[in-house]
Amino acid sequence: MIDILFVNPPSPDEHIYIRDINRSGRRSRERTIWPQTSLALLAAVMEQKGYSVDVWDCIGADIDWKIFKERLRQARPDYLVAIAVTTTITNDIYTTFLAKALGTKTIIVGPHITNEPEKTMACFPTVDYGILGESEETLPDLLDVDRKGGDLKGIKGIVFRNKDALIVNPERELIADLDSLPIPLHEKLPLANYRLPYVGKNITFVLASRGCPFNCIYCRQPIMWRRVVRSRSAVSMFSELEYVKRIGVENVAFHSDTFTIRKDIVLDLCKLIIENGLRIRWICNSRVDTVDEEMLSYMKRAGCWMIAYGIESGSDIILRNAKKGGEATVEKASRTVKMTKKAGIQVWGYFIIGLPGETWETIDQTIRLSKSLPLDFVNFAVGAPYPGTEFYEMALENGWLESLQWEDFDQNYSAIVSYPELTSDDVIKAIRKAYKAWVLRPSGLFAYLKGFNSIENMKTLLAIGWRHLLISKEN
């Protein structure tokens, strides 16, 4: 037996789902298999505390429910810690049903339980404990007290059952120093199976920071990180890069709400990579108003080959409605993308269709912008009002929501917001229109075919093409 089993649950169907401790989840149309480094970090924390641990990424390791049941019966852990996200909540909670039948105590983590602690616990009686917000300090406190049969009322950041009552304890202070956290147990993950479009396989995440100072209405990071920005030091990140390189990882994606939020740290990290001759390929996400030529030059020299920018819309009105903030304008997006390409770094553009105020006119502006930029890859997502976001509260207040079923909140496949001038069906049609408009032109087709640089990437891009460019009517 092991003390603690950390689980990314099996898929509810034949599709791939993206889950993480700080995400509400979505079904992957681009066949992304998300590295479970957040679970590996929790496992590392508990191993340091003297607990025996294991991590099962059922999506990454292709473990279905039949295999999971048998392996769980054999493992019989004392505690099961599972990610439970909004889009697959009922499916994910099934892990706790199976575990409870074996006498295992059950814990769920993530933004869903953080935002809806009492409602979630009331709906799912097989959950013993929920951890609210960051888990790395809460989980060891919880288990140390629970194992001794102590009083849980003093454990900040949990929800639990006390006879017939649900007790939600006060929130815990955020971790001040991310450098105090150990390196995740990457070696317990199916690293060879992780994949991202264009990037390929054998990839892992390296945590760079948590939190973002901006107030975008659709963003879920305030649920977990409360808009408080905390960054790891360059030295701490570099040591983890050296470690993952030693265990054979070929690609790194920095896990951060906005990787480039601290220029000084980015430059220090790049200089460490360059000065020590560490050869590693890496990508990151960013905002168009948080980079400059100097930063991009250092990032390129240090191995960065792609940046994913949240461009969101081709309409400044929509950007203002979404409270994108800062200097994130259409003009700034255009200049930044071109500056990035000039630095020799590829660009992945993220767009959202269906934010407040969206019309066919603003959608056409977004499509025109996406076509005008020298982008190497694009993602057009549904404007999804995940529970806990300002967008969700706006949708409730204005009567825009067509569903309150948690599983319908999916930015890839389920449009559930209808405006008087734009229906949810229109949003899905617009996304298909955007993909076709971007790809079915010489430069777009070239960028699309350029990704056929491996069998794995070819499969991914063909799957995307089938869903969005050919005959598929799947939502």
Contact 266, 259 (CB under 8 A): yes
Token pair 């049903």 in the structure block, residue: 97
User: What single DSSP character describes residue 173?
Assistant: P
Helix, coil or strand: residue 172:
coil
User: What single DSSP character describes residue 186?
Assistant: G
Question: Token pair of 346, please?
Answer: 């590829």
- In DSSP notation, 329-379 reads -HHHHHHHHHHHHHTT-EEEEEEEE--TT--HHHHHHHHHHHHHS--SEEE
User: What pLDDT score does 464 carry?
Assistant: 64
- pLDDT 10s digits, 54-68: 999 999 999 999 999
Q: Tell me the pairing of strands 26-27 and 79-83.
A: unpaired
Helix, coil or strand: residue 306:
strand
Token pair 């905390």 in the structure block, residue: 230
User: What pLDDT score does 475 carry?
Assistant: 40
- In DSSP notation, 259-294 reads GGG-HHHHHHHHHHHHHTT---EEEEEE-TTS--HH
Contact 467, 38 (CB under 8 A): no
- pLDDT 10s digits, 235-258: 999 999 999 999 999 899 999 989
In residues, how long is the chain? 475
pTM surpassing 0.85?
A: yes
With a cut of 50, list the residues of the chain below it in pLDDT: 470-475
Question: If we measure between CA atoms, which residue out of 51, 39, 111, 44 comes closest to residue 81?
Answer: 39
User: What pLDDT score does 473 carry?
Assistant: 42
Helix, coil or strand: residue 1:
coil
User: What pLDDT score does 467 carry?
Assistant: 59
User: What pLDDT score does 372 carry?
Assistant: 97
